[in-house]
Amino acid sequence: MGTITTTGNHVYTRRQLSDKALMNIFLWPTLILLIAINIFPLLYSLYLSFTRYFAIANKPPIWIGLQNYVSILGDKTLWRYFSNTGFYVVATVVLEMVIGFSLALLLRKRFGGSGFITTLILIPMMLSPVVVGLFWKLMYNPNYGIFNYLLGFGPGKGPDWLASKSLAMWAVIFVDVWMWSPFVMLLCTAGLSAIPDYLYEAAEIDRANGWFQFWRITLPQVAPLLLVAVLFRTIESIKAFDLVMGLTGGGPGSATEVISISLYRLAFLGQFNSGKSSALAYIVLVIIIAASNLYIKYLNQIKEG
């Protein structure tokens, strides 16, 4: 068993000491790495948000307090981008919940080929958003894209979806819904499969119709997982960048300029304003944390109820 070592009120064997040393060997380098690549940049960017600092300028950061935050909150252009982001988030999340839940209900009952159909539906969420954006950009092309053709328009006669200020945002929303509704469907399918059959059997004995079963059995049972899907999709939609950038780059005329693209332009494209972009990033972070806390609070209420 090995030599026994006594430390205070604890007795350790040599094997236990070696196991503890081995654990520390693997644990501490991992913790140091996580601190180096996560916590330090987080704290440093927080410091930069209170400074005037340009990444390409050979000058140290200058402390200016809350000036960056005041400038952002007073910028009407940025508020328009926040408005675009809010519309994008609400539209995509609502449509994805409705379509994803509907698909889960349709595929709940097993039938011939249901597994193959489910696999096909899940393919979009497995693709890279940048690839999806470029793929749909070709499909939306009014001259040779297939999207207008499927809507019944001849070559060159359909609308240019990505070049129209009134249609571009809806075109991006459509692609996002196409890509991420399967994710919602997957979570809802898991929730539906966990509902005991005896609940529906009891409802049928009481002659409850399908609508009553949906509102009193199906929806309440799936609600926790549905809310988890809402939480994840809300967070991802607020941060949406690669899909929008691949489709429109924020155009036309800033019609699809969501806040993440504005942050990218501020931090890298020509301006390199690291101080102000850090402040904007923290404002977005606060919004995400606030939204997440609301969802989690409501989710806990559902579980307790």
For 104, other C-beta atoms within 10 Å of its C-beta total: 26
Domain membership flag for residue 243: yes
pLDDT in tens, 129-167: 999 999 999 999 988 889 999 888 877 788 999 999 999
State the pLDDT at residue 125.
92
Judgement on whether residues 162 and 244 belong to the same structural domain of the protein: yes
CA distance linking residue 198 with residue 293, whole number of Å: 35
- Per the structure, the count of domains in the chain is 2
- Residue 53 domain flag: no
What would the pLDDT profile of 12-55 be if each residue is shown by its tens digit? 555 655 777 777 777 888 888 888 888 888 899 999 999 999 98
SS3 4: strand
Let me know if residue 192 belongs to a domain: yes
60 falls within a domain: no
Which residues form the domain of 298?
67-304
Q: So what's the pLDDT on residue 15?
A: 60
- Residue 87 in any domain: the answer is yes
% of the chain exceeding 90 in pLDDT:
51
pLDDT at 111 over 90: no
Same structural domain for residues 102 and 188?
yes
State pTM to two decimals: 0.86
- CA 146: distance to chain centroid? 28
pLDDT of 164-202, one tens digit each? 999 999 999 999 999 999 999 999 998 888 888 888 888
Closest CA to 126 of 170, 81, 172, 186: 186
